[in-house]
Structure 1
Amino acid sequence: MMNQLAPPLSLLLLFFFLSTTTTTQAQTPAQPPAPSGPPNITRILEKAGQFVIFLRLMGTTQEANQLNNQLNNSNNGMTIFAPSDSAFSSLQAGTLNSLSDEQKVELVQFHVVPTFLSTSQFQTVSNPLRTQAGDNREGQFPLNVTTSGNQVNISTGVVNTTVVNTIFTDNQIAVYQVDKVLLPLSIFGPQTPAEAPAPVTTKKKKAAADAPSSDDGDSSGGVGLAVNVMVVVMFIGVGVYAAFVL
């Protein structure tokens, strides 16, 4: 009796196991990989939560869109030194408002290096770094980076600051927090005074100096002419006198 029931029971258990496995696999299909893409600078800084002024400056100058587009179309990566709100608050009142639109763009670009730099690469970079602002010659937009142990120091020729925190980093973009706004020399450095224009009277004075004076040959020529006239008059007088006498 038991031997007759054993095969059907085994088949029933096997059928139940296969049905359960099939149902479980149908309910949990394999998930596709998440789409990959370059990070968004604005979202990174917004998530950090203490870069409101820098974000506003990037927005009004349209540099946020420019930098995000650059990340999408470049393999060089990017490094950003982001000043916190407290760094901006330490500036003299009215500093940002005194800048022209072009200078505001240059200020944002001065905080961006158009290549990816990890913290270890700061020890071997060549100074001055060329920033997004362009010209790194002395008196323009030089940015010098030095290290002391694990500390990264930055100098612009106007301010000296340090990297105080790594906000975000991967193989494409690195965002570092700095405790001061990076002020470039070309905008905030001592301005070379413009040369004073030459006096207008200089040429007149020179012309007067070159002109012959009253003591030159022209005056002597005038005296000679007067003497000759006197001689002619004398001869005429003598002739008239002789005519009357004779």
Structure 2
Amino acid sequence: MATTTLILLLPILFLLNPQAQAQAPAPSPSGPLDLTAILQKAGQYNTLIKLLKDTQQLTQIQSQLKSNSQGFTVFAPTDNAFQNLPSGALNGLSDDQKVQLILYHVTPKYYSLSDLTTVSNPVRTQAPWGLNFTGGQGNQVNVSSGAVETQINNALRQQFPLAVYQVDKVLWPVAFTKDAKSPSPAPAPKKGSKGTETTAAADASPSPSGESKNDSNGVAGKNVGFGMVVGFVFVCMSVFS
């Protein structure tokens, strides 16, 4: 009877003994980080997953997670965020631009939400442009690309070396906006008060001064001829007289 009671009490004594708990084996790691699995578990990220695969950036991020000692932070736009883009905006990007768009949502460093409230702007991303963060009450954080600003609403994962945060807008780079891509219009040529045709006609017409000069030359020529005739007549009269 005493032996049976002791056996029943052993598990209770084990739980009550902190030293025994400390010596218990730690749970085995769950395996390598899988960004796709994190996004699929959260749902509503099918478009982002497709872009990550199509641009081959999913493989790059997974590979760099093993070697980057700084970790990574991913800002994950939802399917609704992509659907709310202007019609044709995403399909209008080249393959290189799609790669840059994905990289613009990834920073080569791990940031917790509290880190983002005090970080120095702009924060470097994997793309050629940075992001700006502003903090609010508590851990509320807004992120801005300069063309788009949105709130970080949910942490899908917040544990080093990878943080994944939900954003409800695609962080569209300023470099991809219409105003940034279209050149400034050339200044219009200046027109005269009567238009270009009138100006051209004026250029083609002879100047009044030219007409006066030609007329005076003609008159002078006629006067010289008349004088020679009169002189010839006087010579003849003197000879016959």
TM-score bin (small chain)? 0.5 to 0.7
1:212-237 Cα offsets, whole Å, 9 max, x none, are: 96134x44443442233223212322
**% same residue:** 43
Shift of residue 145, structure 1, vs aligned partner: 1.1
Code of the aligned partner of 1:215: P
Question: How many Å apart are 1:56 and its aligned residue?
Answer: 0.3
Secondary structure of the structure 1 residue equivalent to 2:208: coil
- Flag the 1:235–1:175 CA change in 2: closer, same or farther, 3 A: same
- 2:229 aligned to which of 202, 212, 237: 237
2:133 match: secondary structure: strand
Tell me how far apart the structure 1 counterparts of residues 62 and 190 of structure 2 sit (CA, whole Å). Answer: 54
Residue 123 of structure 1, CA deviation: 1.8
* 8 Å contact kept, 1:165–1:176: yes
Superposition pairs of residues 1-40 of structure 1, within 5 angstroms:
39-40=33-34
Q: Where in structure 1 are there 5+ consecutive unaligned residues?
A: 1-33, 137-142
Could you tell me whether the CA contact under 8 Å between 2:110 and 2:161 is conserved in 1?
yes
Give the distance between the partners of 2:31 and 2:221, measured in 1 at CA: 106
1:13 aligns with: none
Q: Which runs of 5+ in 2 are unaligned?
A: 1-27
Relative to structure 1, the CA distance from residue 135 to residue 223 in structure 2 (aligned partners, 3 Å threshold; closer, same or farther) is farther
Normalised to the residue count of structure 1, the TM-score between the two structures is: 0.65
- Deviation for aligned residue 1:82: 0.5
Q: Distance in 2 between matches of 1:227 and 1:175?
A: 99
Tell me, yes or no, if the aligned pair for 1:153 and 1:162 is still in contact at 8 Å: yes
Distance in 1 between the 2:203 and 2:118 partners? 65
Give how far 1:189 is off.
6.0
**CA–CA separation in structure 2 for the residues paired with 1:219 and 1:36:** 101
- CA distance in 2: counterparts of 1:134 and 1:38, whole angstroms: 29
TM-score, structure 2 as length reference: 0.66
User: 1: CA distance between counterparts of 2:139 and 2:34?
Assistant: 27
Contact 1:38 1:71 in 2 (8 A): no
Trace 1:161-180 onto structure 2 (pairs within 5 A): 161-180=150-169
Task: Provide the rounded CA distance (Å) in 1 between the counterparts of 2:115 and 2:179.
Answer: 32
SS of the residue aligned with 2:164?
strand
* Counterpart position of 1:147: 135
Q: Which residue of 2 aligns with 1:5?
A: none
Q: CA deviation at 1:210?
A: 8.2
How far apart are 1:199 and its partner, in Å? Answer: 4.5
Q: Where does 1:44-123 land on structure 2 (aligned, <5 Å)? A: 44-123=38-117
C-alpha RMSD of the superposition: 3.8
Aligned residues: 205
Q: Distance in 1 between matches of 2:164 and 2:233?
A: 117
Equivalent residue of 2:127, what SS?
coil
1:92-116 deviations in Å (ceiling 9; x for gaps): 5544223333332232222122322
Q: Within 2, Cα distance between the matches of 1:79 and 1:213?
A: 77
Inter-CA distance 115–235: structure 2 relative to 1 (3 Å threshold)? farther
SS in 2 for 1:176: strand
Instruction: Give the match's secondary structure for 2:93.
Output: coil
Relative distance call for 1:207 and 1:125 in structure 2 (3 A) is farther
Q: Matched residues in 2 for 1:134 and 1:83: separation?
A: 19
Q: Is the 8 A contact 2:73 2:109 kept in 1?
A: yes
SS at match of 1:195: coil
Decide whether aligned partners of structure 1 residues 163 and 135 sit closer, same or farther in structure 2, where only a CA change above 3 A counts.
Answer: closer
- Cα deviation 1:112-140 (Å, max 9, x = unaligned): 2232222221122122333323134xxxx
